[in-house]
Amino acid sequence: MFGLTARRGHPAVSTTAPTTRPAGSADGEPLPRRGIVFFVAAVGLFMVSVDQTIVATALSTIEKELHGGIQWSSWTITVYALGQILVMPLAGKLSDALGRKKVFVVAIAIFTISSLLCGLATSIYMLVALRLVQAIGGGALMPSATGIVGDHFGRNRDRALGMFTSIFPIGGIIGPILGGIFVTFGSWRDIFLVNVPIGGVLIILAIIILPKNAPRVRGKIDLIGIALVGALLLGAMFGIALLGSGSPVWSPEFLVPEGVAVIALVLFIRHSRTSEAPFIPMRLLHGRGFGVMNLINFFYGAAVLGFGALVPLYAEERFNVPILQAGTLLTARALGMICVAGIAVLTLRRTGYRLPMIVGFAIIAIGLAGMAFAPNDVPAYLWLSIAGGITGIGMGLSVPASNNATMQLAPDQLAGIAGLRGMFRQSGAIMGVSITTAILAGSNNTGETLAVVFAVFAGLLILVLPLVLLVPEHRGSW
């Protein structure tokens, strides 16, 4: 589908896809006002990323107030990830075709309005549906915002994007902390309503500050591919949820949606191979470096993003930690990640991608194992905070490298690659949380079961380490 050329050590790039270089990069000089542009884009990304996990601390409260089981209330997390998965690659194309500023502003507007409606929801099913709409706005923001930052920093865009994309997991870490504060001193509805004034101000700032940019490429939007991906993930999620509700594995309630997911997967692969403008180009699915990085991102999402969503519930159920304290458990993780991520970004041109990822994933696995095997003679809150801090250090080391990996292979497709990365991470998170909550629904001891799950997550990251050696290495700017 794509012709590839590589010479004199330079990465292969497409010879048929448009090769428009980022604005301001013709001579490598960054654009003016890049600092304030970075700030606006960063606030939007932070707000969206916080909502990825902010409901984690409130799962029990939402379950009781809206009368939904854990396997259904957890959909407030997984359906948010699903919406982002479907929208991220599409938004990457739209931001190229329509202009980054337009997509960014519309995304914030959708996110803000749906947040208001989420705060007014009267049933678990209404809340889940509105979370899907909210995710559409959130998912559309990340690729457009990534493109905006990349356009403004010229030859320094690798460092700028390393710092910028590190905001997303940081927001996911801080989410449960804020959720615990809102639930303790207010209502779970405040989790969503707080986005309304912030979103309103952000829309005004974006309109005033962000510069307009000309459309780059215009192509067809692959609605068939989007529908097939949606059927794949929704079928898998629905079957797993019904399994957690008591349906046996051999029942039609489980087999039919899982069968739909398998059929959708087969059709999606066939469609992507034959379509002129596929939802996800096959080159970015399994081409040089992309295939292995997509697999790593999937497992990373299952182990790390899934872990972050479940830690507050684990602390509450196994150790009877109060809701507010359970939310703040990830504070050490957030601080560790923020401090280490900055250093990792600055040294990325020297270390390359593989070393930070290998060391970071191994440290995360140690932290996960520490969570699972908490000793009885140490205060639970203290031990869990230490284990969370260890995972934060590992994330700070690995996230900038894993975010930048493969981007140098196609610098003209930054938004699309960012969307694809988010898609695979969120897919992993969906599967991790969905399977875990289905198991929890049939478990007599939620805390002990989650301890086993965290140990499995740790083992999963250790198994991923050999795959990192297959990621194309790169040092220096690109």
Rounded (5°) CA angle 157-211-131: 80
Amino acid at 136: I
Per-residue pLDDT of the chain (478 residues), as tens digits, is 333 333 333 333 333 333 334 444 444 666 777 888 899 999 998 998 888 778 877 777 887 888 776 667 777 877 887 787 778 767 777 777 778 888 899 999 999 999 999 999 988 889 989 998 998 998 888 888 888 888 878 777 777 877 787 787 677 777 877 888 888 888 889 999 999 999 999 999 999 988 876 666 555 677 788 888 888 877 887 777 666 566 677 878 788 888 998 999 899 888 888 887 777 777 777 666 788 888 898 898 888 877 766 788 888 888 888 877 877 777 777 777 877 877 888 888 888 888 999 999 999 999 999 988 888 888 888 899 899 889 989 988 998 888 878 777 766 666 667 767 877 887 888 788 778 877 887 788 888 899 999 999 999 999 999 999 988 887 876 5
Helix axes 446-468, 414-441, angle to 10 degrees: 150
What pLDDT, on a 0 to 100 scale, did the predictor assign at position 18? 36
Give the pLDDT confidence score for residue 401 in this predicted structure.
86
Per the CB < 8 A criterion, the answer to whether 275 and 260 are in contact is: no
Alpha helices in 66-166 (DSSP H): 70-73, 75-98, 100-119, 124-152, 157-165
One-character DSSP codes across 13-43? EESSS--PPPTT-SSSPPPTTHHHHHHHHHH
pLDDT at residue 114 in the model? 95
Residue 290 pLDDT: 80
SS3 track for 239-291: HHHHHHCCCCCCCHHHHHHHHHHHHHHHHHHHHHHHCCCCCCCHHHHHCCCHH
**Per-residue pLDDT, 9:** 37
245-to-63, 90, 260 alpha-carbon distances in Å: 14, 33, 19
Whose structure tokens read 């457009």? 144
CB 56 within 8 A of CB 309: yes
Give per-residue pLDDT as tens, 67-96. Answer: 776 667 777 877 887 787 778 767 777 777
Burial of 468 per CB tally in 10 Å (0-12, 13-18, 19+): buried
- Yes or no: say if 403 and 146 are a contact pair by the CB < 8 Å rule: no
pLDDT at 160: 81
Which is nearest to 104 in space by CA: 150, 132, 152, 143? 143
Side-chain-side CA neighbours of 451 within 13 Å: the count stands at 15
pLDDT of the residue at 257 = 85
| Cα–Cα distance, 132 to 314 (Å, whole number) | 25
Cβ neighbours of residue 477 closer than 8 Å, sequence gap 6 or more = 155, 156, 158, 349
- The answer to whether the beta carbons of residues 279 and 272 sit under 8 Å apart is yes
Q: What is the full DSSP assignment across 54-76? A: TTGGGHHHHHHHTT--HHHHTHH
454: left (phi over 0), alpha (psi -120 to 50) or beta: alpha
d(CA 257, CA 235): 5
Provide the pLDDT for residue 69.
67
pLDDT of the residue at 1: 32
The predicted model scores a pTM of 0.68
Element (H, E) at 5: strand 4-5
pLDDT tens by residue, 244-267 = 566 677 878 788 888 998 999 899
Q: Are the CB atoms for 231 and 262 separated by under 8 Å? A: no
